[in-house]
Structures are given as structure tokens and as C-alpha cells.
Amino acid sequence: MKALRIFSRSIRDSFKSVFRNFSLSLASISCITITLIVVAVSIVLSYSVNTFTQAIEKDVTIVAFISNDKSDDDIKDIEKHILALDNVQKKNVSFRDKMDISNEMMESSDVFKGIMQDWTKEESPIQNTYQIKVDDIEKIGDTAKEIEKIDGITSVKYGAGMVEQMVQVFDTVRKFCIILVVALIIVTAFLIANTIKITIFSRKREIEIMRLVGASNANIKIPFILEGLFLGILGSIIPIIVTILGYTKVYEHFHGHLFVSFISLIKPYPFVIYISLILVGIGMIVGMFGSWRAVRKYLKI
């Protein structure tokens, strides 16, 4: 009961304080708002980029063409060589027979069918292939080169150049986002610390009296920590609205796909809800951390 009374008093005090120093509170709230909007954009970007990269990585395949003069034993040998390579996903190396490929091609187009239907297995210029997936997409070029060196492989194909570039761009975007977010969060924490510091100064006498009459340290600190918490929560309202409306709009605008069909955007729900929760969480933590710092430094208790 007693703790509850003290706590409700703390909540009342911190609310009062937010409005008593309104201009300062507003400064802090706007700073949190701006930070959290950037944080939201960054999270959406880096999360989407992550999904894109994964999608691309799943799709990218090295196709190794096998010379037609190789026997079945030779082909088995080639497979062993491929499997021995580091970056190759052992479970995702598959052999495709040249007859399967020509059948597929004939099904896809009548023109092909007209030309290819009379080819026997020996005549067909189409080559047997291995379809290979890799663990680390950034090293796909090196792996492809090593496969090409294997005896019996005539050539190797993958989305050379484009894939690496895309992955690199995505990676840069992600790193940039993270740095930006961390920097902004630190700045915001300092600003909140400043706001709370001024609140503490404006309530100096009140604090002195509280200490004099025997209020415990926690009792004195809690209102300030709560004030930081409220600033954090108030600051996260606009970013949450921006995220929910903004992302839904973007998703609708692009019809769920970014430029090409295999890069699909993350569905807005429950994605935006998660982001909103993250934003409130960050706001609360930053607010409390900022005020905790100020309290520790200026309350000297």
C-alpha cells in the first residue's frame, strides 16, 4: 500500500514536471520523435534489405556446364570435386541431365520443339549441368572460378557482376543505417539528460526537503526516471503513426514488389506493429537512460 502511494505520487509528480517545463519537454520530445522516425526508416530499410538479400541468395545458382565427351564416371568425379569446395552448399548441388533440359526447353516453346525433337542424346549440343548454390554469396565469383577450373567443366554461369553489386549496395545501406541509428540514439539520450538536469535544478529545494524529511533515494529518483520514460513514450507517438501509415502507403504504391517481382516487400501487418513496439521500447529505454544519468550526476545520492 505504502509503496503504491509513493509510486502514484511519483507518477503524478513526473507528469506535472513534464508540463511545468513544457518548452524543454517539447524539445526533448521532438528530438526523440525525429530520432525515432529515422530509426523506423532505418529498421524498415535494413530489414527489407535483409529480406531482399536472402531472397536473392536463395535464388542465385551457379550453373556449371559439363563437356559432352565425359562419361558417367567422369561426371561422378566432377561432382566429388565440386562438393570438395568450401563455399558450396553440400545439399544444394544437383545434376541436371541434358535430356531433361531439352525436354523442358521444348515444352516452353514450339520453336525449340521444332528444332530439337529429332535430336538423339548423342547429337544434342545441349550439355549436362550441375546446379550449385553457395553459402556466402559475396564469394560467389571466386567459387565460380574454382568450379570452372575443374577438368570437364566447359563453362560456368551465374548472375556475374549484378548479384555482387546488389549485395554490396544492400550491405552498405544496412551498415549506414546502423551507424546513423546508434549516433542519433546517443544524441537523444544526452538531450534527455539535459532536460532532466534542468528539471532537477528547478526542483532543487523540493529535493532538499525530501531528503531532509527522510525520503529514500529511490523515492526521490523515481519521479525523474519516470519523467524520462514519459518523454520517451510521448516522443514515440508520431513516429509510430508515421511508420504505420507510411509503410502501408509505400506497400500499396509498389503493389508489394520493389521494381522486380522477386524482390517482394514485407507485408505491412504485423511488420509495422513490431516496429511500433521497437520504437516505444527504444523511446522508453533512451528516456530512462538519459534521466538516470542526469539523476546520478546531479542528485548526488
Rank residues 189 and 207 by Cβ distance to another protein and give the closer one: 207
Residue 56 or 207 having the CB closest to another protein: 207
Whose Cβ is closer to another protein: residue 6's or residue 180's?
6
Q: How far is the CB of 8 from another protein (least distance, A)?
A: 10
Using the minimum distance from each CB to another protein, give the nearer residue, 45 or 210. Answer: 210
DSSP state of 257: B
Of residues 31 and 226, the one with the C-beta less far from another protein: 226
Least distance (Å) from another protein to the CB of residue 205? 6
Strands across the sheet with 129-134, in order? 88-96, 129-134, 62-66, 153-157
Nearer to another protein, 125 or 214 (CB): 214
Q: Find, among 92, 65, 82, the residue nearest to 146 by Cα.
A: 82
Instruction: For residues 162 and 219, give the distance between their C-alpha atoms in angstroms, rounded to a whole number.
Output: 61
3-state secondary structure 160-225: CCHHHHHHHHHHHHHHHHHHHHHHHHHHHHHHHHHHHHHHHHHCHHHHHHHHHCCCCHHHHHHHHH
Distance (Å, whole) CA 29 – CA 210: 28
Least separation in angstroms between residue 16's CB and another protein is: 11
The residue among 156 and 220 lying less far from another protein, judged by its C-beta, is 220
DSSP structure class, residue 46: H
Positions of E strands within the chain: 62-66, 88-96, 129-134, 153-157
Cell numbers at 218, concatenated: 529511490
Q: How far is the CB of 181 from another protein (least distance, A)?
A: 36
Task: Report the amino acid identity of residue 154.
Answer: T
Give the C-alpha separation, 236 to 121, whole Å.
67
Q: Which residues bind another protein (CB under 8 A)?
A: 1-3, 5-6, 9, 205-206, 208-217, 219, 301
Minimum CB separation from another protein for residue 220, in Å?
A: 8
Distance of closest approach, residue 213 Cβ to another protein, in angstroms: 4
CA distance 100 to 103: 5
CB of 297 to another protein, least distance (A): 15
